[in-house]
Amino acid sequence: MQNTGRPIIEYLRISCLVLLCACGSVSFARATESDVATTGPVTNLPMPRYVSMKASEANVRRGPSLTHRIDWVFKRRDMPLRIVAEHGHWRRVEDRDGQGGWIHYSLLSGVRTVIVEETLTIHSRPNAEAPVNARLEAGVIARLGKCNPDWCQLRSGGFRGWSPKTSLWGVRPDELRD
């Protein structure tokens, strides 16, 4: 009688080894792709990033060309938007509700703005005990200035002051600005 168990065990060992190597290379490939995806392929700028609308009206398209259907029309100058993808002269953007699509880059500005998420007070210094300069209602768009780990400086309606970052959309929680 021949011992056929030994070749089968050897075959299983080799198969497991090949499978482990294949899984390892797939994991490595995915990690590398996610590292590359942190900058835009067109601009080489960080992704995602925030911009604002330069125009008072912008068509938001289903795809990155004029031949694609218009899904939305954004009608608010200085509205902050998050760029999540790039293709040629087009940027895929999202608003604070997650709605969006593709907008031509010429309708966007690098000027940073934020939307006030809930009614808040802006203070003369980045401290809750500092004197209050103004009160901003939810939905107000303000220009973004300096940001430290917890507070951002805002300008709106002739007022300037500091507000907690947690009440704003259009700035990353970890973002620092000088």
Residues 145-160 pLDDT 10s: 999 999 999 999 999 9
pLDDT band for 176, please (50, 70, 90 cuts): very high
49-111 folds as SH3 type barrels. (2.30.30)
Exposed, middle or buried: residue 166 (CB in 10 Å: 0-12, 13-18, 19+)? Answer: exposed
Question: Starting at the edge strand that comes first in sequence, how are the strands of the sheet with 120-123 ordered?
Answer: 132-136, 120-123, 159-164, 151-156, 141-147, 113-116, 168-169
Residue 4 has pLDDT above 70, yes or no: no
Question: Starting at the edge strand that comes first in sequence, how are the strands of the sheet with 108-109 ordered?
Answer: 70-74, 58-61, 100-104, 90-94, 80-87, 49-53, 108-109
Q: CA torsion, points 9, 13, 14, 19, in degrees to nearest 10?
A: 130
Residue 114 has pLDDT above 60, yes or no: yes
Residue 177 has pLDDT above 80, yes or no: yes
pLDDT of 73: 96
Provide the mean pLDDT of the chain.
Answer: 87
Q: Record the pTM.
A: 0.76
Residue 13 has pLDDT above 90, yes or no: no
Classify domain 114-169 at the CATH class level.
mainly beta
Q: Locate CATH 2.30.30.40 in the chain.
A: 49-111, 114-169
Residue 171's beta-bridge partner residues? none
pLDDT of 129: 96
pLDDT band for 65, please (50, 70, 90 cuts): very high
The arithmetic mean of pLDDT across residues 97-124, rounded, is: 97
